[in-house]
Amino acid sequence: MEKSEKSLFSSKTLLKIENFDDAVALTYYSMYYSVLALLYKCGIKSENHMGTLILLKELFDFDNHDIISAKKDKLVSFKGLNNAPRWSPDGKHLALTLSKDGNPEIYIMNINSRKLTRITRSYAIDTEPEWLPDGKGLIFTSDRGGSPQLYEIKLNRYKAISRAQRLTFEGNYNSRPSVSSDGRYIAMVHRTQGQFRIAVLERETQHFGVLTKGQLDESPSFAPNGRMIIYATEEKYRGILAAVSVDGRARQRLSFKKGDVREPAWSPYKINK
């Protein structure tokens, strides 16, 4: 695990200076070394990269063909910010934040044509776009009201058809939105009394509730069934993984013996057609 942690640390350092290609490569090797450590714990020693991929295929029915043959392609590289990308539900578009025209704004890119459509037009910082499940709207973070809050903007054919509507009014900091698969709930990072906690907003009723009690809870991500939220938090100066139900009644800590947890994301259900 030492090699994995060193690779991850180097990746974070490169990311800060915007050396994205090397940062991505070192992140891959961090995960690769973690897999080696896992196999070693199971009594399997593998020191060959291709051999490890074959083992993964045999043990877990993991198909490595797409990874081996994958082509790396640079999508955007404008001067300034190029961040916070989110795939559309149909996988054909990308919402992202660009500051190429001045302040950070939300754009949508058609992946095939690479055409960009500007969605927001504000003097403030607009960032962290999240798609609604039907692809007909975006939830994003903006400080256009004086502090970071969540806003919604409606779309038609990937173009804005409404003004941004403010969704959150509790406290002076709400960011990092995550939308449940049915579009009913929005999870977020909410600051209260100097502490960052996970909160949830029910879109139809506008009911707002704080779910967690930590000091540095971040990166909420909904389970595919929309009932649980996974997030990163801090315990005894270590980053750990935790989960909480939408009603706040069920809580679970998922800690590891070594290392830190950051930026968790729940995968969707696999649908066999």
203 CB-side CA count, 13 A:
18
pLDDT tens for 62-73 read: 565 665 566 678
Average pLDDT of 190-198? 94
pLDDT tens for 130-184 read: 999 999 999 999 999 999 999 999 999 999 999 999 999 999 999 999 999 999 9
150, 174 Cβ separation under 8 angstroms: yes
What's the pLDDT band for 42 if we cut at 50, 70, 90?
low
Average pLDDT of 53-61? 60
pLDDT tens for 78-97 read: 999 999 999 999 999 999 99
What's the whole-model pTM score? 0.74
Residue 123 is predicted with a pLDDT of: 93
For residues 38 and 147, the model is more confident at 147
For residues 16 and 222, the model is more confident at 222
Distance of CA 178 to the CA centre of its chain: 8
Residue 203 is predicted with a pLDDT of: 96
What is the helix (H) or strand (E) element at residue 37, kind and residue range? helix 20-41
Average pLDDT of 54-60? 60
Q: Shortest CA distance to 172 belongs to which of 152, 191, 198?
A: 191
**Amino acid occupying residue 122:** S
Average pLDDT of 206-234? 94
> Residue 200: is its pLDDT beyond 70?
yes
What's the pLDDT band for 273 if we cut at 50, 70, 90?
very low
Residue 44 is predicted with a pLDDT of: 59
> Residue 58: is its pLDDT beyond 80?
no
Computed over every residue of the chain, the mean pLDDT equals 84
**Crossing angle of the two packed helices 2-16 and 20-41, in degrees rounded to 10:** 170
> In which residue are the tokens 């779309």 written?
155
